[in-house]
Structure 1
């Protein structure tokens, strides 16, 4: 007879969003198991390629969860300013945290650094069982609980399963949840870059005719992470080409704003796609983070949207538990689903609007862009609103993000 371990919540996926959700639930005395296909290690040495622009709302969440204290502070790149301009036009806009009495607008942090901080906090909580290097083999949903079988044959049961297993979610596919998606027709090239001039804690983005290029300030004065959105054929030629030629092309594309650029890492590219699950919740199931939605990296908001999912899920489940309600009953999860779908759609629409406005070199669009950017740059109330949005301060925030 096989024994079955029973939990309140089983989280599939041990990335940033999955671990954050686990911590928040465990702090409210829910018993949680995290099924993690990998393992988390401390970061050291050269900068990792995958980074996130962590806004204030996400930082507040990580602080409330007790995880921010374990993120390696020496590898955080806080940014006080943002500069955005149109390569072939006159439009530009600048943001400064000090203009709204803030020290920073956010921080550029390696994903692995955040994950390590979260995993360190997870290890402190007895209510969390963190199963590393484990995958799910089977999943089934019953009236009162969900049953999960691991790749080593172990059996688990939980009142609720949370799918936090990324854009190619196994959980979502097993549950046959359809996706709405479209291909942006671009690839994002990511790399670490040494610059001739210091970045001065400023996040910069230039809109080129073929896509945006962002320079995100990392933890050393002359080190930036780039995200360069280009058509697939151009991406391949930039990846395959000579390093010196890549550096010249990058410096020219960026208007030489930081002087000569030198490659400080390998170059990687990945296709840009918007994905949106038709259902964020079902009976005994909730999807969070990239398992539910992926957006254009235009403003680096993907992980912040995922952390909002985590915080909203924690808030909802804790309230259901407090009221003695079934945390896995779909009727009880519907308000959470509506909340998260509305936030995701708002972000997807905003990113799509920006992308379309800045796409190509149509002279009418260029004129609209230039006028719009300069108007916002010179009109303080709208500019302040943009900064508050960039920091993640919006009308309906989960309690943990306030």
Structure 2
């Protein structure tokens, strides 16, 4: 039976980044992934699933060697973030105000995963099991016996990076709390009449926001939040009909667009009741799934990656048993409060802008108006969102 320091179930963005960050510490790591993503070719259409990668997440990707490849493929950096409900309350955040060249970059999820997996495949301390999947596992005092579909392996630590419906979390008996938002989001890829922009923006409506994420060239990714029945109706439209609906419902600053593709997903919140149970650790969506309104999902997952690396590195440096459950518990202490704070902030934002009363509408627009004219407060919030 093969033995590893860590076995990570899930080779997505968070799982692959975690493998590389722990392998940097000299640990022997295995990654279990069901299927590899489609290889990149320059002429491919843009994927629907994209992420707004923060500066902090960019630094992690640079650290593990993936950013260089992503930069050679395609990404769209942005300097500004615009938020408003009414035009009078428009608030804009600019990277210049916090001394940075940009706030982040819009990147297709598949390209991030591909670049990370390229590094995983070439790392001497990492073994990739793909295609493979977890069947079961048994914890005991010194480690974990892990049964995969192909073979059984041993590990000192089992990491769940297998998504919101985590099999590892379920087998570990870790429950979740959360709810459905009774809303869905439609992702829409478009050609734009405008050249690549350096701004991403979001306008709020009682039914949910609409957002524009710039993509390379004359392309953009639109996000349309609405009640589930309305998103279902929009899904039945032809691309031309959807284009007309976008032009009627999105702000005029979007300009003329041509709809190329679309998909949708329901909005839910899930938070694991614990991030660590003996020698099992949860990270990314396995631990927390958040309202995607501010695009913080994968950025929170990358913060998990850095926190676990920090905890284990400090334990090794102090001569402690790095995989002792008491040491692993420090990871949850580092991350749970921060994740809960961001999740609660997104819920408060969602509740505020969906509230129909005129009083609430006046208060939230006044808040944006004031925030745009309070540079110290605005820049602190911006730096936090960037992970700085």
TM-score of the pair, normalised by structure 1 = 0.93
Figure out how many residues of one structure are paired with residues of the other and give that number. 386
Question: How much has 1:176 moved relative to structure 2?
Answer: 1.5
Q: How does 1:199-348 map to 2 (within 5 A)?
A: 199-220=196-217, 222-265=218-261, 267-348=262-343
* Whole-angstrom CA distance in 1 between matches of 2:216 and 2:196: 10
Distance in 1 separating the partners of 2:20 and 2:31: 10
Deviation at 1:328, TM superposition (A): 3.0
Counterpart-to-counterpart distance in 1, 2:31 and 2:346: 32
CA distance in 2, matches of 1:31, 1:323: 20
SS in 2 for 1:140: strand
Task: Give the CA deviation at 1:42.
Answer: 3.0
Which residue does 2:5 correspond to in 1?
Answer: 8
List structure 1 runs of 4+ shifted beyond 3 angstroms.
Answer: none
Measured at CA, do residues 74 and 36 of structure 1 come closer, stay the same or move farther in structure 2, by a change above 3 Å? closer
Q: Which residue of 2 aligns with 1:397?
A: none
Cα distance per residue 1:83-114 (max 9 Å; x no partner): 11105x63210112123332111000001111
**1:8-66 CA-partner distances (Å, limit 9, x unpaired):** 00101000111111101111110000011111343231101110000000001111112
In structure 2, how many angstroms separate the alpha carbons of the residues matched to 1:122 and 1:289?
18
CA contact (8 A) 1:37 1:132 kept: yes
SS at match of 2:209: strand
Pairs within 5 Å for 1:1-400: 4-44=1-41, 45-87=44-86, 90-152=88-150, 154-220=151-217, 222-265=218-261, 267-393=262-388
Shift, 1:213, TM fit? 1.1
Shift in Å at residue 196 of structure 1? 2.0
Structure 1 residues 252 and 389: CA distance shift in structure 2, 3 A: farther
Provide the rounded CA distance (Å) in 1 between the counterparts of 2:247 and 2:357: 24
Secondary structure of 1:211 counterpart: coil
Distance of 1:98 and 1:315 partners within structure 2 = 30
Unpaired runs of 5+ residues, structure 2, are none
Alpha-carbon separation, structure 1, partners of 2:182 and 2:167: 25
Gaps of 5+ in 1: 394-402
How far 1:392 moved relative to its partner?
1.4
Helix, strand or coil at the partner of 2:381: helix
CA offset at residue 72 of structure 1?
4.2
TM-score, normalised to structure 2, is 0.96
